[in-house]
């Protein structure tokens, strides 16, 4: 891996998990996911969150709720496609079947190698706004 090239880093963690589909709690989870985007960007890399791509697609496909069949068609499949293009996955703490699946898929993908995870850990350890209580897998 060429460390001078920006990495595309998928940020994975709870989105709907533990919210009982309460919009305020879902937004809180999204805000938490987004909180790591700035330090990743400031470290010279490209942060990505699957919901940034999936939510507009779901909206235009006619989804009325995160629990409907239209949302199910897009939410996790978008993340799966993004993983094919990402160099690493930053797994935030918290129970999330979807985030666990992202990590599993990334572990199988040759682009998200152990080398890129070690490099990512080094990059994030040097970012002042990074919260070391989050987990990296």
Closest Cα partner for 9 from 128, 116, 132? 116
Query: Looking at the domain assignment, is residue 133 inside a domain?
Result: no
Domain presence at residue 135: no
Residue 67 has pLDDT above 80, yes or no: yes
Residue 2 located in a structural domain = no
Residue 1 in this model has a pLDDT that exceeds 50: no
Asked whether residue 112 is assigned to any structural domain, the reply reads: yes
CATH number of the domain encompassing residue 46: 3.40.50
Looking at the structure of the chain, the number of domains it has is: 1
Distance CA 99, CA 95 (A): 8
Structural domain including 107 reads 8-124
Q: With b meaning 16 or more CB within 10 Å and e meaning fewer, what string describes 22-55?
A: eeeebeebbebbeebbebbeebebebbbbbbbbb
Answer yes or no: is 39 within a domain.
yes
pLDDT in tens, 69-119: 999 999 889 988 988 888 888 888 899 999 988 888 887 765 555 555 555
**Which residue carries 């199988």 as its tokens?**
108
What is the average pLDDT score of the chain? 83
Q: Which of 107, 108, 134, 102 is nearest to 121 (CA)?
A: 134
* pTM, full prediction: 0.79
């Amino acid at each position: 891996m060429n460390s001078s090239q920006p990495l595309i880093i998928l940020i994975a963690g709870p989105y709907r998990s533990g919210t009982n589909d309460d919009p305020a709690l879902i937004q809180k989870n999204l805000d938490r996911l987004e909180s790591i985007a700035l330090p990743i960007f400031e470290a010279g890399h490209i942060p990505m969150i699957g919901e940034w791509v999936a939510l507009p697609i779901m909206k235009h496909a006619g989804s009325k709720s995160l629990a409907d069949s239209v949302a199910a068609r897009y939410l996790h499949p978008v993340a799966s496609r993004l993983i094919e293009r990402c160099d690493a996955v930053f797994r935030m703490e918290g129970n999330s079947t979807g985030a666990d699946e992202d990590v599993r898929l990334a572990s199988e993908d040759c682009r998200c190698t152990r080398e890129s995870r070690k490099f990512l850990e080094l990059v994030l350890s040097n970012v002042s706004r990074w919260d070391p209580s989050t987990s990296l897998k």
